[in-house]
Amino acid sequence: MSYFSSTSPGGICEIRWHGRGGQGAITSAKYLAEAAYRAGFRGVTSQPSFGAERRGAPVTASTRLSPEPLRTFCRVERPDVVIVLDETLLDCADATDGLEDGGWLVVNSPCEPGAIAADGRFSVATADATAVAAECGLVVAGAIMVNTAMLGAVARATGLVELTHIEETLRDKFPEAIATRNIEAARAAFERTRL
Amino acid sequence: MASRMAAAADTEVQIITGNQAMALAAKRCRVQVVAAYPITPQSQVTETLSEYVAAGELDAEYVNVESEHSALSVCIGASSVGARAFTATSANGLAYMCEPLHWAAGARLPIVLGCVNRAMAAPWSVLNDQQDSMSQRDAGWIQIFARNNQEIFDTAVQAFKIAQTVSVPVMVCYDGYLLSHTVMPVDVPSQEAVDTFLPPYTPHTILDPADPRNLNQVTLADPRENEKGVLCHGYMELRYLLEEALEQARDTIIAVDEEYAAAFGRSCGGMLWTYRSEDAEVLLVAAGSLASEASVAVDALRADGCKAGVIGVRAYRPFPKQELIEATAPAARVLVFDKSLSYGNEGPICGDVKAALYGSGSHPAVHGYIAGLGGRDVRAAELAEAVRRDAAKGAVAPTEWINCRI
């Protein structure tokens, strides 16, 4: 698979998440690691970008997946997959910096993939996670929580995990009623992801 | 809420941070008194423990204190009355514990301390290096480094047993953020399995109002009789016994790790661990997650035909002198990567490696490198590049700083 790139030693898939503080990028980076463990990856790590974080400001997180236990904990600089929770970060946070040739850019956007400015080195997938999350009632204190819907889009675009692994992870995290809404969002985003 | 997935019959895999692994280990070890003061990146350890206590999952006294000095002082009191005591801290918090650190060791109290390694201020940095615990290496504590979250859990459980076996406090050191805030799979043994491994703490002396006595009273230069006419040690004899305990702790650290492996199927390596070192012509030496990163560099070097290996320093105090002599025997070059400095000299591990090899008959070139201070990222490729550059150096070379942009 193209996202197990030659530059990532040992067949490691490296994923970088871009969001704004409060959107849940760090949380979904962890959930993806867990879903991947359920999918059979024995090496999974997830870490926030280290330093100060604040609501609304650009934040990043990373997930590493490997068939074998991981021995590397340094910063992800050449991701195979970049996941963007807020489309405006494509410009202001240089979200595709270092993205490997042949990798995936997965964006929360109502637009078609072709409308996302990209130079053709990598594939683009889009899903309107904001609309999906709103439909599923994932609104906390006025903020639409797009992160679990984006897990569905990531599963669809990259095939790294199955929807069932995400569903099992979410069911483990939340009380039943809330888990069900998040699972609905992940499923709907999976269905409505455009490649 | 951490995820729980079934593994073997009496264990479960949890995808958790290093801090959560440390807190869970303290819970499994049934700590009876926890006292700590919040400091980044340690805070999650004691937050998690306070949640366990509040939820009734851990039958412990959680003592809120106003400083790290008080936190360790509370642990000293708790340990002196026979309780299993735990605290955790980082950087300036550890520095503020400096005085009671010496006291806990001198009083021979088996306290376990989680040191989440962080850079010392000034200037302020919340990010990782190992200057904090290195600066306390001479306080008389056992210091053990963990290289990943599994080892944080396993080492913490082992630490309680080591501490109460030799009556010396143990500092479990792990890299801030790189491990403390990174989630990864940790195989967590059941409560019953840990109970079987770790017997309750039986104190050597107990402070009891019903049986009043002096503990650690003023001790003069020479031995003298106490109030009951018993000849007691002077200060120097007590210090000799502390040093003897640290030296004897080598055997205990190895034995406890072997017992742990027999019980849980995992060894942390005893005094040190090695990676592809058997035929290595060049060895990379480091502690904690940096040594783990070095093992990735070694894979790349080996792929290029360079016979490289890693020595991961696990126990830093007592220092693994004999094990280092044996592990470095085949190597022509040894590169020591320190995440701290003994200012005006060199990296502390580098100096200790040189001292261990002196007179041993093993004479590889030992070159010191400083890396990753204050959270500066260290990539395996940089370590591999350092090994390639190192080939041009003579037997003696000045300390080189990796990725220092000055």
| ipTM of predicted assembly, 2 dp | 0.93
Are A46 and B289 in contact (CB < 8 Å)?
no
How far apart (Å, rounded) are the C-alpha atoms in residues B111 and B334?
A: 35
pLDDT confidence bin for A87, thresholds 50/70/90: very high
Q: What is the pLDDT of residue A118?
A: 76
Tell me the C-alpha distance between B247 and B10, whole Å. Answer: 35
Note whether B299 contacts A74, CB cutoff 8 Å: no
> Considering only CA atoms, which of A158, A141, A151 is closest in space to residue A185?
A151
Interface test with B, best of A50, A60, A62 (most B CBs within 10 A): A50
Closest-CA residue of chain B to A169: B3
Q: Under DSSP, is residue B202 helix (H, G, I), strand (E, B) or coil?
A: coil
Q: How many CA atoms lie within 13 A of B114 on its CB side?
A: 41
* CA nearest neighbour of B348 among B285, B275, B391, B396: B285
**Domain layout of chain B by residue ranges:** 4-197, 272-401
8-state DSSP, B223:
-
Chain A residues lying within 8 Å of B3, measured CB to CB: 34, 169, 172-173
Q: Are strands B85-89 and B33-36 parallel, antiparallel or unpaired?
A: parallel
Does A2 score more than 60 pLDDT? Answer: no
Regions of chain B where pLDDT drops below 70: 1-9
- Write phi, then psi, for B168 (nearest 5 degrees): -135, 135
- Chain A residues touching B185 at Cβ < 8 A: 37, 42, 44, 69
Closest CA–CA distance from residue B90 to any residue of chain A (Å): 16
Please answer whether residues B194 and B156 qualify as being in contact, where contact means their C-beta atoms are separated by less than 8 angstroms.
Answer: no
8 Å CB contact of B299 and A9: yes
Are B4-197 and B272-401 equal in CATH topology? Answer: yes
User: Mean pLDDT throughout A15-39?
Assistant: 95
Which residues in chain B have Cβ-Cβ distances shorter than 8 Å to A173? 1, 3
Query: Closest Cα of chain B to A76: distance in Å?
Result: 10
- B292 and A9 within 8 Å at the Cβ level: the answer is no
> Which pLDDT value is given to residue B224?
92
- Mean pLDDT across chain A: 91
Q: Do B375 and A50 touch (CB under 8 A)?
A: yes
Q: Helix-strand-coil percent breakdown of chain B, rounded to 5?
A: 40, 20, 40
For residue A94, what pLDDT is reported?
85
The pLDDT value recorded for residue B4 is: 55
- Candidates 3.40.30.10, 3.60.20.10, 3.10.100.10, 3.40.50.920; correct CATH number of B272-401? 3.40.50.920
Query: What is the reported pLDDT for A7?
Result: 42
Q: Tell me the per-residue pLDDT of B63-96, one tens digit each, with 9 for 90 and over.
A: 999 999 999 999 999 999 999 999 999 999 999 9
CATH architecture of B4-197: 3-Layer(aba) Sandwich (3.40)
Q: What is the distance between the alpha carbons of residues A149 and A128, in angstroms, rounded to a whole number?
A: 9
Confidence of residue A119 (pLDDT cuts 50, 70, 90): confident
Q: Given this model, what pLDDT does residue B233 score? A: 94
The domain segmentation of chain A, as residue ranges, is: 13-192
Assess whether the previous peptide bond of B318 is cis (omega < 30° from 0).
yes
pLDDT tens profile B255-266: 999 999 999 999
Give the E-state strand segments of B226-364 in sequence order.
231-232, 272-275, 282-287, 308-313, 315-317, 333-338
Q: Tell the CATH topology of A13-192.
A: Pyruvate-ferredoxin Oxidoreductase; domain 3 (3.40.920)
pLDDT at B227: 81
The SS3 assignment for A81 reads strand
* Contacts with B179 from chain A: Cβ below 8 Å: 73
Q: What residues of chain A lie within 8 A of the CB of B4, using their CB?
A: 172
Burial of residue A176 (CB within 10 Å: 0-12, 13-18, 19+) is: exposed
Q: How many CB pairs under 8 A join A and B?
A: 77
Residue A10, min C-alpha distance to chain B (Å): 9
Q: What is the pLDDT of residue A52?
A: 66
Are B275 and B302 spatial neighbours (Cβ–Cβ below 8 Å)? Answer: no
CB contact under 8 Å between B4 and A71, yes or no, is: no
Of residues A57 and A156, more confidently modeled: A156
pLDDT at A54 over 80: no
Contacts of A37 in chain B (CB under 8 A): 5, 13, 15, 185
Nearest CA in chain B to A172: B3
With CB atoms and an 8 Å threshold, state whether A71 touches B148: yes
Distance from CA of A42 to the nearest CA of B (A): 8
Residue B67: strand, helix, or coil: coil
Distance from CA of A45 to the nearest CA of B (A): 5
List the single residue in A38, A46, A71 with the smallest CB-CB distance to B183.
A46
- Residue A50 to residue B128: CA distance in whole angstroms: 10
- Structure confidence by residue, pLDDT tens digits, A65-77: 999 999 999 999 9
pLDDT digits (tens, 9 = 90+) for B37-66: 999 999 999 999 999 999 999 999 999 999
